[in-house]
A and B are shown apart, each in its own frame.
Chain A
Amino acid sequence: MKKLFLFALVIAIAGGGIGYYLWNKPPEGVAKKKPDFILTPAELLTDFQNNEEAANAKYLGKVVQLNGTILEIVPGENMEMQVILETGDLMARVSCVMKEDYNTFLERKLKRGDTVTIKGFCTGVIMDVVVDRCVIVN
């Protein structure tokens, strides 16, 4: 009887522990995820410009991996930094909201005009196509 009680106690603690872990788990990262789509920033933008509804169905919440040219690096004050990728369109770009902070990013010595491969979760289009929680692949 005592053994059974102990067993139940262990299960309960373990269960509680797993529950607590799951409940408090931070949003998942993209680093270990395989990209659902590998394309250029221009291709991604064109898809959204041609048919936003279809592009939403295709890309929303999916991992996109983009190889493109850095147009702008936004350090971000009190917010995540961003890497803006060129699309050839003057008004609409691809905004990559980065997971790492600006100081970590600076160590990569990347600058405007450099080619970079970035992956993240696509969240949609407003003025720019937004890719979120991005990491640098290359």
Chain B
Amino acid sequence: MKIIASVLIVVVATLQGYAQKYFTRDGKISFSSDAPMEKIEAVNNKVSSVLDIQTGDLEFAVLIKSFHFAKALMEDHFNENYLESNKYPKATFKGKITNLADMKLTLNGDYRAAVQGDLTIHGVTKPVQADGTLSVLNGVIHATSTFDITVADYNIEIPKVVRENIAKIVQIRVDINYKSLEE
């Protein structure tokens, strides 16, 4: 009897664990580089992300080759010369919402979120901080954030000849609709 009870407790705990997890396979991350000679934008619509609303744990993974550019040359240079996507196919983020106590993500509402964690791009991991918003509407959590990263931090070298075309600081925009893992 004790065994059945403990099995039940484990099962229930696991189910509840799932209910706290929100995820997406189709999130959007875009970035833009605004240099004197040229503005470059790229979009990736295949972002996977998991958000645990109990602990605030937040994870992202994107495939570098899924970033789309307007011009083929930009995309080729981005993949081959700068991000070396054959060698480093993914970028990831692992972090936490640090002000989780200020929000109640099971209820509809808009919240400001502070996020802290480690961003890995081009095989280099750096701590990042970003602010974002979480809008909860009937079980869907819409998360957005905009933050800047410095290209040189990630050992990405930009040749002198194109320094006027590529910005040193790139703006990243995150736009994700999370659904409960239960559904």
Interface residues of A (CB under 8 A from B): 22-28, 56-57, 60-61, 74, 76, 79-80, 82, 95, 97, 121, 123-128, 130, 132
Contacts and interface: CB of A to CB of B under 8 A. Distances in A.
Contact of A124 (B28, B70, B90): B90
Nearest to B66: A123
A123 B62 CA distance: 10
B171 interface: no
Interface in B7-45: 25-26, 28, 43, 45
B110 interface: no
Given A127-B48, A130-B66, A132-B65, A26 B71 contact: yes
A132 B70 CA distance: 15
B46 A56 contact: no
B23 to A, nearest CB: 8
B48 A126 contact: yes
B86 interface: yes
A95 B25 contact: yes
B45 A80 contact: yes
A92 B101 CA distance: 33
Contacts of B68: 27
A105 B70 CA distance: 22
A56 B72 contact: no
Contact of B28 (A79, A121, A132): A79
Contacts of A123: 46, 63-66, 89
Contacts of B71: 23-27
Contacts, number: 73
Interface string B68-103: 111111010001000001100110000000000000
Given A23-B71, A95-B25, A124-B89, 13 more contacts: A26-B72, A27-B71, A60-B85, A60-B86, A60-B89, A121-B65, A124-B63, A124-B66, A125-B63, A126-B61, A126-B62, A128-B48, A130-B63
Contacts of A97: 45-46, 66
Contacts of B70: 26
A112 B99 CA distance: 42
Contacts of A80: 45
Contacts of A127: 25, 48, 61
B115 to A, nearest CB: 20
B90 A28 contact: no
Nearest to B50: A127
Contacts of A76: 26, 45
A23 to B, nearest CB: 6
A74 to B, nearest CB: 7
Contacts of A132: 46, 65-66
B2 to A, nearest CB: 32
